A and B are shown apart, each in its own frame.
Chain A
Amino acid sequence: MDLRLGDIPLRQTVELTHIDLPAEEMEPLLERGVLPGCRICPVRSSPSGDPIVSVDGSLLALRRETAACLCVRLLTALQDAS
């Protein structure tokens, strides 16, 4: 149920449902296009295991701790295909 971005395998696109962070830490993410409802996809992980995600057409480097605060929802096969 409570799926986090940190648990998503590479190259699987999911939908962001909720950001579990205080407002001042959430805002920089929102400004960079990480918005509830957006499609987000981990594309790579860094030498130390931090994720790079693709969101809104650009690449964003996050920390593992941040990724663990992003609640996501799997897309159904139908949505995925579209």
Chain B
Amino acid sequence: MATLAMDPCASCAQHRAQSLVRLGLSPDKWDYLIALAGNPNTGKSTVFNALTGLRQHTGNWPGKTVVRAEGAFEHAGEHVKIVDLPGTYSLQAGSADEEVARDFVLFGRPDVTVVVVDATRLERNLNLVLQVLEITDRVVIFLNLMDEAKRHGIAIDVKKLESRLGVPVVPGVARQGSGIDELLDAAHDVATGARVTDPFRSDSYASSVEQAIADLVPLVERTFPDVPNARWVALRLLNADEAVQEAVRSGELGQLAHDDSDALVEPPPEFERHALLDASVRLRWDLPPDFHDLVTEHAFTVAEDIARSVQMEGLKKVGFTFDRKLDDLLTSRVFGFPLMLLILAVVFWITIEGANVPSSMLASLLIDTAHPWLKGVAASLSVPWWLDGFMLDGVYLATAWVIAVMLPPMAIFFPLFTLLEDFGYLPRVAFNLDSLFRRAGAHGKQALTMAMGFGCNAAGVVATRVIDSPRERLIAIITNNFSLCNGRWPTQILIATIFIGALAPSQLGGVVSAAAVVGIALLGIVAMFVSSWLLSRTVLRGEATSFSLELPPYRPPRILQTLYTSVIDRTLIVLWRAVLFAMPAGAVIWLISNITFGGTSVAEFAVDWLNPFGLLLGLNGVILLAYVVAIPANEIVIPTVLMLTVLTAGLAGGEGAGVMFELDSLGATEQVLRAGGWTLLTAVNLMLFSLLHNPCSTTIYTIYKETGSAKWTTVATLLPVAMGITVCFLVTQVWRLFAV
């Protein structure tokens, strides 16, 4: 999910203009509204961040902004609201993100639309620019990545481009903050009408097309007298553009002309609107059969012509061969896959090794020190035992546990992952994996959403909006849960360290544990392929659609900013969510352990009842109950398991019924688990089940919002559980067959 956070750090390294005051999240009132459009991967989000100070997460791969982000800033004494649209190549509304972008430019009534253009790929970017110019007069072009253009030996005649397009063109480098001031001045002038533009509009199609347009334009003008560009509307109607047809049908198109007032405009009479639609259908019959292609090709020819006329190539090229050399390695037949695994393993290893010390420090602070102290305070205030137990032993300890276990690995993993992302490695992963996804009947970009899922499945599900085919998008949504998410590593890492790392000599323990966790993550990828394949052979039958993915140039990662962004943007927000969900879960655990019937607690009843089923799967009743309780947050599975084990195994130690606790050493944790009847088999099955079970409640809710379908949400929820039960059952049966 595109997450927004306030920027508390006004003194950050980014260039900051004197006149620019960042206001963070949008205020209620603004003097003018800027829409930020552009092709994917042109640095739109970077421009957005430079303006607002918000840390819209930026990444070096196409289609990062899949939802609209909004922010605000103050410039020259005026409040400005800015909306960052998803990056699109066109406004044809072919996919969910193109639709969002176009609807906003059309109906969001921005006072000025800033199109961010990649100076190294002018021709292709101009296609979108020309489409925006067809819709609105109020446009400013930000010619971004001028530094890369220079490296690639491309020089652009900015003045000439400006005169050809008829709107202001501002060159700059958003990553360094250069050109932002000039951009704001230009946007201000256009938005307030101080600068009147004369946008380029192409006007020479084949004569039969021109005739149809000429016939339709007067009708459009009569029905919607104030529409700014009747020619564009006519052309889109002739193209049978559904969004525009719908805008005519509903009368919404009339709103376009009145972008300065909020007053609703009375739509034209219904019969006129229908007459317009009928006329467009009739005229379409007279058009040449390849009309659609003609229009598309014409637009591209114009873009090409403009780009050629303002571009001077052939300057000295620098730094280009490095990209190619690196790609030779990272996407090579021989080294592509091994390097991918190696990079993944190194990231996990650094996370595992690095998280140990801070984790135990946090645990000793929050649990060993703060908890007894709080208990002491509560006792001195004579708080009733049940309130003290509910709040401190239930809610507080669950929260403390989640923070101690999750914060260190997240604070290490997210920055590492973000560095890879910033560098441009993720599209290479998608490219390497595409053939596998295609064979599974899925979309290559599913690899990107899978990678997002390694951070958070809910984020991965939202990221599937970059996939335009609805069938393939649904597959990506349903199978995203097989990406081992951040809430589940601590479990994997802990169990792998105790039960699997311990099998190896002590100096190799860390490496073996890391390898086991990578193995589980890989198994998740395999499960994703298998289930994608099954889905596309059964309920979501279909062939993989064509695929083309732009591989962006490698960009040196901005280390400090990445650290800052990933800590604020991802780590703290994911942690906060986990805490919100852990608190009630802690309360539930305390309650079920302390509400008793005839001396037996609800938890013990449930564990006894689940135990036979658990044993059949090589797990036990405690683990199954822990997974039921932990639906809101996977992070608390291990603390819950420990607490319930102590409760049901009647061990001394622990803190009392329903009290989650952390043990001071791995050894003590191991002792509790072994006393609870744990074996290597239990550990292996727990790792498998942790990978293959239902998504957490946040993800389930996100899936429902994205699909709008209870049916597919149910499938996405139950499919992994069914797989988990099957796999654990089979492993257990085979294990017992050979172990005895």
Name the residue on A nearest B118 (C-beta). Answer: A58
Which residues in chain A, 18-32, are within 8 Å of chain B measured between CB atoms? 21, 23-32
Residues of chain B within 8 A (CB-CB) of A43 are: 324
Q: How many residues on B have C-beta within 8 angstroms of the other chain's C-beta atoms? A: 44
Q: Which of B346-354, B541-549, B639-647, B655-663 contacts A (4 or more CB under 8 A)?
A: B541-549
Contact assessment for A30 and B435 in the assembled complex, using a CB-CB cutoff below 8 Å:
no
Give complex CA distance A27, B94 in Å: 10
Q: Is the CB of A23 within 8 A of B293?
A: yes
Give the chain A neighbours of B434 by CB distance below 8 A.
46, 48, 50, 61, 63
Tell me the bound Cα distance from A64 to B49 in angstroms. 38
Q: Is the CB of B124 within 8 A of A44?
A: no
Residues of A close to B152: CB separation below 8 A: 57
Q: Closest residue of chain B to A21, judged by CB?
A: B546
Evaluate contact between A63 and B431: CB separation under 8 angstroms.
Answer: no
A36, closest chain B residue (CB): B297
- B169 to chain A: closest CB distance in Å? 19
Bound complex: CA of A61 vs CA of B546, how far in Å? 11
B333 lies within 8 A of A45 (CB): yes
**Which residue of the partner chain, among A33, A34, A46, A63, contacts B331 with CB atoms under 8 Å?**
A46
Is residue B104 contacting chain A, with contact meaning CB distance below 8 A?
no
Residue of B nearest to A31 (CB): B89
**Which of the residues B436, B444, B548, B552 comes within 8 Å of A28, measured between beta carbons?**
B548
* A48 shortest CB reach to chain B, Å: 3
Structural contact, A62 and B300, CB atoms closer than 8 A: no
A17 proximal to B (CB < 8 A)? no
Which of A31, A37, A46 sits near B432, CB closer than 8 Å?
Answer: A46
Contact A35 B331 (CB under 8 A): no
The reply to whether B90 and A31 contact each other, CB–CB distance below 8 Å, is yes
Q: Judging by beta carbons under 8 Å apart, are B550 and A31 in contact? A: no
A43-B324, A46-B336, A52-B331 as given contacts; A66 in contact with B547, CB under 8 Å: yes
Task: Give the residue of A27, A32, A44, A57 whose beta carbon is less than 8 angstroms from that of B154.
Answer: A57
Give per-residue flags for B44-81: 1 if the beta carbon is below 8 A from chain A beta carbons, else 0: 00000000000000000000000000000000000000
Is the pair B327, A52 in contact by a Cβ cutoff of 8 Å? Answer: yes
Distance in Å: Cβ of B219 to nearest Cβ of chain A = 26
- Contact call A27/B90, Cβ cutoff below 8 A: yes
B300 touches A27 (CB 8 A): no
Residue B604 is within 8 A (CB to CB) of chain A in the complex = no
* A30 contacts B300, C-beta separation under 8 Å: yes
- How many Å from the CB of B354 to the closest CB on chain A? 31
Contact A66 B120 (CB under 8 A): no
Chain B residues with CB below 8 A from A33, complex form: 121, 123-124
Is B231 interfacial (CB 8 A cutoff)?
no
Q: Which residues of A contact B89 (CB under 8 A)?
A: 28, 31-32
Chain B 391-447 interface residues, beta-carbon cutoff 8 Å to A: 427, 430-432, 434-436, 438, 444
How many angstroms from the CA of A59 to the CA of B123 in the assembled complex? 15
B551 an interface residue at 8 Å Cβ cutoff?
Answer: yes
A57 touches B431 (CB 8 A): no
Q: Are B546 and A65 in contact (CB under 8 A)?
A: yes
Task: Establish whether residues A47 and B92, one from each chain, have CB atoms under 8 Å apart when the complex forms.
Answer: no
Q: Is the CB of B124 within 8 A of A32?
A: yes
CB of B490, distance to nearest CB on chain A (Å): 32
A34 surroundings in chain B (CB, below 8 A): 548
Q: Is B566 in contact with chain A by the CB < 8 A criterion? A: no
Chain A residues, Cβ within 8 Å of B435: 46-50, 63
Contact A24 B154 (CB under 8 A): no
Tell whether, in the assembled complex, residue B551 and residue A59 are in contact, meaning their CB atoms are under 8 Å apart: yes
In the complex, what's the smallest C-beta–C-beta distance from B329 to chain A, in angstroms?
11
A47 touches B337 (CB 8 A): yes
Interface hub of B94, B292, B327, B547 (most chain A Cβ within 10 A): B547
Residues of B within 8 A of A44 (CB): 327-328, 331-332
B432 near A35 with CB under 8 A, answer no
Please give, as numbers and ranges, the residues of chain A lying within 8 Å of B121 by CB-CB distance.
33, 56-58
* B123→A60 contact, CB < 8 A: no
- Given contacts A23-B293, A52-B331, A56-B124, whether A63 and B550 have CB atoms under 8 Å apart is no
Q: Check: B7 CB closer than 8 A to any chain A CB.
A: no
CA distance A6 to B715 in the complex (A): 39
Would B551 and A60 count as touching, CB distance under 8 A? yes
Residues of the A chain whose Cβ atoms lie less than 8 Å from the Cβ of B300: 30, 35
Please indicate the chain B residues that have their CB under 8 angstroms from the CB of A32 in the complex: 89, 124, 548, 550
- Verify if B304 is at the interface (C-beta below 8 Å from A): yes
Q: What's the minimum C-beta distance from A32 to chain B, rounded to whole angstroms?
A: 6
B124 close to A31 (CB less than 8 A)? yes
Does the CB pair B546–A31 fall under 8 Å? no
Q: Mark B120-133, 1 if CB is under 8 A from A, else 0.
A: 11011001000000
Q: How far is the CA of A82 from the CA of B127 in the complex (A)?
A: 27
Residues of A contacting B324 in the complex (Cβ-Cβ under 8 angstroms):
43
Contacts of B547 in A (CB 8 A): 61-63, 66
For window 267-297 of chain B, which residues contact chain A by CB distance below 8 Å?
Answer: 292-293, 296-297
In the assembly, what is the distance between CA of A59 and CA of B578, in Å?
Answer: 40
Chain A positions within 8 Å of B328 at CB level:
44
Known contacts A57-B152, A58-B121; A46/B431 CB under 8 A? yes
Q: Is the CB of A52 within 8 A of B431?
A: yes
The 5 closest A-B pairs by CB, nearest first: A48-B435, A31-B89, A59-B551, A33-B124, A61-B431
A-B CB contact pairs (8 Å), 7 listed: A26-B293, A32-B550, A44-B331, A46-B435, A47-B331, A62-B547, A63-B548
Supplied contacts A47-B333, A63-B548, 7 more A-B pairs, CB within 8 Å: A44-B332, A46-B336, A47-B331, A47-B332, A60-B548, A60-B551, A63-B435
Interface residues of B (CB under 8 A from A): 89-90, 92, 94, 120-121, 123-124, 127, 152, 154, 292-293, 296-297, 300, 304, 324, 327-328, 331-333, 336-337, 427, 430-432, 434-436, 438, 444, 468, 545-553
